[in-house]
Amino acid sequence: METVKEKQTETGTKSTIKISGAEAIIHCLLAEGVDLLYGYPGGAIMPVYDELYKFQDRLTHILTRHEQGATHAAQGYARVSGKVGVAMATSGPGATNLVTGLADAQIDSTPMVCITGQVPRHLLGSDAFQETDIIGISTPVTKWNYQITEAHEIPEILAKAFYIARSGRPGPVLIDITKNAQFDEFEFSYTKCKGVRSYVPVPKPNMGAIEAAATLINGAKKPLIVFGQGVIIGEAEEQLKALIEKSGTPAAWTILGLSALDTNHPLNVGMVGMHGNYAPNLLTNECDVLIAIGMRFDDRVTGDLERYAKQAKIIHFDIDPAEINKNVPTDVAVLGDAKATLELMLPLIKENKHEDWHNEFKEKYKLEFDTVIKNDIHPTKEGLTMGEVIEEINVASGRKAVIVTDVGQHQMFACRYAKFNQSKSNITSGGLGTMGFALPAAIGAKMGAMDREVVAIIGDGGYQMTIQELGIIFQHKVPVKIVVLNNNHLGMVRQWQELFFEKRYASTVMTNPDFVKIAEGYHITSKRVSERKDLKNTVQEMLASKDAFFLEVVVEQEDNVFPMIPSGAAVSDVRLK
């Protein structure tokens, strides 16, 4: 790819000429196919921003209102588009403000490259103005990081950064670049990275393990599949569907696996985990073979590990060897890319139905529906519920919207009740549980999929953590839809206080501002709904709008999300009320 400055010699051949490190950074980004990045300028990164100004026709920079917003926007963009998200910040507080997003991307396997400016090399370690050891700070929350102190390092290190971020199990990379390296000139050339010594991003499939897994599945009487985001990252949705249908195995999902399989598929039995569906949680401790695909046995999924699926043979498909036997002992480990390993196993799988086993799921779903679901999505109480808001969005969007959620009760209601018929449709902060994630992530998601409707579902608490990013929507006319479910509480914490702390609501009651007026201050069309008679038409109006739209829905203050597995309990201790 020809992206560097070139000059014509007398013989007609081309040769590279010297360019600054700052300009080299721009050429590296272009060579990697980057056309959009998020960031916030400052002194230590100013040379790069000066070069960005010259390349505005080829590389769009989105000025966020806070560096954390830049990382979450880059995450949303990456999760929907499948590309590497890029964020940029200055040194010191600019760099440290990226850390939450880096940690979130690391635990949720999101490909992201963050570039930070740094004080000149001769000032390193001197406590210079806005100097922070961002390499030391970010080491635990990045897949890889590196500090560039000389300009000539830039092409090789950035090529390596993008390769590491996107390959294998994706993750965030941070590159810190001293100011002198941005100013200095060198002979530029760029070669994309195709491998790093000692780094094996995708283990080679082992046919012996694949055959052993197939034997266990074929012999199972009560098999259960639990799939996670690894299916989406590995683009293995069709292979997963084929396995489920051929083997007749019920399939449940983690919150990050949601949307890999059509939520209306007859073999989709719902969500596992603390607020997952009753049947898959309860029957995890009754299945005889548990097939985990692209998931990491997070504690919110397993509950008490000493009482998790002890009766079952465990098959674990994963690309990351570090996840095998980390939490749950595995009988058969199938390492490799999910798409490749499932394709190799499919011919070995026998046709099956497991009708009696399916009936157990159906019976327990009916119990959950009668006890919980119908009251959530078709309530008889006067106040609005979070579940019925999600259901109205399902109907109005035709299950085609990308739903971006923050963290809390509304997140669990959305993950339980949002319906999808397309992959990469559920964007949420899973492992880190970052309040403030949804608004900037929804902006990034919309920019990564302009042809899709993107709806942010946010609680009144998390919304105020990154509310300043409304400025991006106003400045760049991003047609994202925002729904704030306002119960004037930190809802999830309040629920725990109600159930386990004798209703001592310590620091969870919120006195909120007028959210509609704030959105109107950013020239965003805004509505507030507090009565059921207005909900349907307003949701339809929101989704019909071609511009950004803000909707505040006032919901029940003491509306709890069930089922629930109490902290430290077994999955079979799941409570319906």
The β-bridge partners of 15 are 7
d(CA 110, CA 230): 11
Other C-beta atoms closer than 10 Å to the C-beta of 512 total 15
Per 3-state DSSP, what percentage of the chain is helix, strand, and coil (rounded to 5)? 40, 20, 40
d(CA 107, CA 434): 11
Read off the amino acid at residue 385: T
Other C-beta atoms closer than 10 Å to the C-beta of 385 total 22
67 is catalytic: yes
Determine which one of 46, 55, 130, 360 is catalytic: 130
Determine which one of 179, 364, 424, 481 is catalytic: 179
221 secondary structure, DSSP code? S
Determine which one of 23, 32, 51, 67 is catalytic: 67
Strand pairing report for 251-253 and 454-459: unpaired
| Residue 429: CA count within 13 A, CB half-sphere | 28
Instruction: Name 309's Cβ contacts closer than 8 Å, sequence gap at least 6.
Output: 284, 285, 287, 290, 328, 571
236 secondary structure, DSSP code? -
Q: Are 289 and 224 in contact (CB under 8 A)?
A: yes
Q: Are 119 and 487 in contact (CB under 8 A)?
A: no
Closest of 85, 102, 91, 86 to residue 45, by C-alpha: 91
Read off the amino acid at residue 458: I
Read off the amino acid at residue 441: A
DSSP per residue over 334-389, as a string? EES-HHHHHHHHGGGPPP---HHHHHHHHHHHHHHIIIIIHHHHS--SSS--HHHH
Determine which one of 129, 183, 500, 501 is catalytic: 129
- Structure tokens given for 348: 């070995």
Determine which one of 88, 386, 492, 542 is catalytic: 492
130 is catalytic: yes
- Structure tokens given for 37: 């990045």
Q: Are 229 and 295 in contact (CB under 8 A)?
A: yes
492 is catalytic: yes
Q: How many residues belong to the chain?
A: 577
The β-bridge partners of 550 are 482, 526
179 is catalytic: yes
Backbone angles phi, psi at 388, to 5 degrees: -70, -30
Q: Are 168 and 35 in contact (CB under 8 A)?
A: no
| Distance from the first to the final alpha carbon of the chain | 60
Which H helix or E strand runs over 95?
helix 93-96
Active site residues: 67, 129-130, 179, 492
